[in-house]
Amino acid sequence: MLSALLLQAGMSLTTARTPAGVGGPVSGYWPVMVFFAVAVVFPVLPVVLGRFVRPNLYGEAKMRPYECGIDPTTEAHDRFTVRFYIVAMLFLVFDVETIFLLPWAIIFMGDDFSFTKFALLEMFFFIGILVVGYYYAWRKGALEWA
């Protein structure tokens, strides 16, 4: 029903407003650079200008880290559980693997569905290896939190 609703439609293929001959792969990043500059200035400005309107009074009790009203006795930079490191390592493996899958996904169908069988087998192979590692991690309890 919904698909039938969507299937009736005009073709409206539109591209970005870059005229032919301009906007190669590198110059397309100029607006990103400009945006970056603006995005850095935007948060810095109110903080810097706010210096003129906000009070700045020193108070010893005010500077103490919050610990429900009790004076902290130790440094906060203490040892913490090793599980965070395990999560970080697992993340590294899986995120790199995502990067490998992205270009594969783009060429999977190709322009004319000619590549599909080989690509499918390749994907099974790649994800198969990944699943073995995933199973190992799970079996070893790396994914358990508590």
Partner 1 sequence: MFSLLFAPPNFVDDLLLKLFSQETVNFVVWPFIQIGAVITLIAVWALYASYLERKISAFMQARLGPMRVGKWGLLQPIADAVKLLTKEDLMPERADPYIFRFAPYIAVAATFLTFSVVPFAPNWGVITDVNIGLLLVLAVSSVGVLALILAGWSSNSKYALLGGLRSSAQMVSYEVSMGLSLVGALMFARTLSLSGIVGAQASDSVWFFLYQPLAFAIFFVSGIAENNRAPFDLPEAESELVAGFHTEYSGMRWSLFFMAEYAAMVVVAGVATTVFLGGWYFPGVLRLAGGYNNLYVFLSLFVFVVKCAVLLYLYFWFRWTFPRYRYDQLMDLGWKWLIPASLLNIVWTGLTVFTVQALDGWNNIKTIESLKGAPNLARGLNLTATGKGVAIALGWAGLLVAALFLAAVNWRSRDFNLKKQRRQVRLVDVPKGKPAVATTAATGEG
Q: How far is the CB of 45 from partner 1 (least distance, A)?
A: 10
Residue 79 carries which side chain, given as an amino acid letter? Answer: R
Q: How far is the CB of 135 from partner 1 (least distance, A)?
A: 9
Q: How far is the CB of 86 from partner 1 (least distance, A)?
A: 9
Give exposure, 22-58, as e/b (b: 16+ Cβ within 10 Å).
eeeeeeeeeeeeeeeeeeeeeeeeeeeeeeeeeeeee
Calculate the CA dihedral of residues 25, 27, 31, 32 and round it to 10 degrees.
Answer: 50
All residues at 6 or more sequence positions from 11 whose CB lies less than 8 Å from its CB, including other chains: none
Q: How far is the CB of 75 from partner 1 (least distance, A)?
A: 7
